[in-house]
Amino acid sequence: MSNVLPPSTLGRIVRGTGPGLLLAHGAGGGIDANFGPVMDVLSERRTVVGPDYPGTGRTPRATAPLTLDGLADELVATAVEEGVESFAVAGYSLGVPVAVRAAVRHPERVTALVLTAGFACPNPRLLLAARLWRDLLRGGDRERLAAFIALIGSSAPVLDEAGQDDLDRAVTTVAATVPEGTLDHVGLLLDGVDVRADLGSIAVPSLVVSTTLDQLVTPFHHRRVADGISGAEYAEIATGHLPFAERPGEWSALIRDFLDRV
């Protein structure tokens, strides 16, 4: 039985026609940032609904702390408001626990899951990174924050090959585009996101995509998610935490081909 859906306050992008695909982006991301580079492929044969979390993209910042249940419900409500009654959910990073919770709370609507670079519960290492992220946000030094994000978000091979001008430009771009709701998203992570008990309840076809060079949400977490879902498929991409930047073609093909099969 589904939980009652609230009206959605989330701005959204809707693209394509066909079976539904709901997107759940990462902390400090946004639909355009996290899924923009793969949107054309994902919307070729599907109706893609991409809500922006509060404080990113098309959605104003929240006035109250975010909750996992509330965010999952609003994402589902956004799709339903767009006339998409059932759908697969593709979650990225923080969007992985959001997608899992959406599937558990609304099982009659969620038909499949694709879970990329995600976690079920942050371990001390991830919490340490999140606390540093939070403190840099609070300190207001956007250049230092952007440097941290570049170091931990990109893979070592990409950073090792980057020239000084390219790296400087990337840091400057990140510093200028940090969404105002990022602190709220990181706060949600630090408040105790934990969907380990939910994983065993997932009964839809699921694909876990591991970003094998990830220095933020490491493959340790990806394997735990896959192991917790009965029958989950597991795929790997040699990328850091930003597959949409480093390997968009490979990532979009994995999502498309899995959903076409199931």
* Active-site amino acid positions: 93, 214, 241
Whole-angstrom distance, CA of residue 213 vs CA of residue 211: 6
Maximal CA-CA distance, the chain = 55
Terminal CA-to-CA distance of the chain, rounded, Å?
Answer: 23
Read off the DSSP letter of residue 120: S
Tokens at residue 155, please?
Answer: 């893979």
Beta bridge partner(s), residue 90? 23, 114
- C-alpha span between 114 and 205 (Å, rounded): 9
Strand order, beta sheet including 20-24: 12-15, 47-51, 20-24, 87-92, 110-116, 206-211, 233-237
